[in-house]
Amino acid sequence: MSKNTGYEEKLKKSGLKSTKSRKAILDILIKSNQPMAAEQIFIALKEENIDINLSTVYRTLESLENIDMVTKINIMDDDRMLFEYNMLGHRHYLICIGCKKILTIQNCPLGSYEKELENETNFAILGHKLYLYGYCSECQITQTNNK
Ligand SMILES: [Zn+2]
Ligand SMILES: [Zn+2]
């Protein structure tokens, strides 16, 4: 039941076949509308009764990253990678390093700055991404207790 969001065209152009696993993973990422860890994608696939094992999820994400359809976000100091569907546009996230919780920031703080930059540099700016890292209120408590 994959809706056509234009990504099949992109897959074709990049020379990758739109396999079941590629489509399923792209569908999940698009639906979630925020970055996900491979394990979360794996669980979401399971919930939709799509049978793809975790190593295939990793491999598929890698191939999609190679053609820039998926962006990998590295959360600072460890190997917890998050993946998101690579869309132009405005995306702002608050990411908790402790529990990987992600909040989407609705207000765009960069609108007027973009205009300034465009005037200064003659760029036609299409979008931006902003990731803010830190600890959520619950994880701040855990941090202090561990010290
Ligand atoms: Zn947290
Ligand atoms: Zn913005």
Ligand 2 center from residue 127 Cα (angstroms): 7
Instruction: Write out the E strands in the chain.
Output: 36-37, 70-74, 81-85, 90-96, 102-104, 128-134
Ligand 1 center from residue 138 Cα (angstroms): 6
Per-residue model confidence (pLDDT) at position 2: 44
Whether 84 contacts 96, CB under 8 Å: no
Per-residue model confidence (pLDDT) at position 1: 41
Neighbours of ion ligand 2 (CB under 5 A): 90, 108, 110
**pTM of the shown model:** 0.74
Mean per-residue pLDDT pooled into runs of 10, the chain (147 residues): 66 88 94 88 96 95 93 74 83 86 84 92 90 92 71
Neighbours of ion ligand 1 (CB under 5 A): 96, 98-99, 101, 136, 139
- Region of 122 (left: φ > 0; alpha: ψ -120 to 50; beta: rest) is left
Which ligand has the shortest distance to the CA of 99? 1
Please name each of the domains of the chain with its CATH number: 1-86 (1.10.10.10), 88-147 (3.30.1490.190)
Distance from chain centroid for Cα 130: 12
Q: What are phi and psi of 108, to 5 degrees?
A: -95, 115
- DSSP-based helix, strand, coil % in the chain, nearest 5: 45, 20, 35
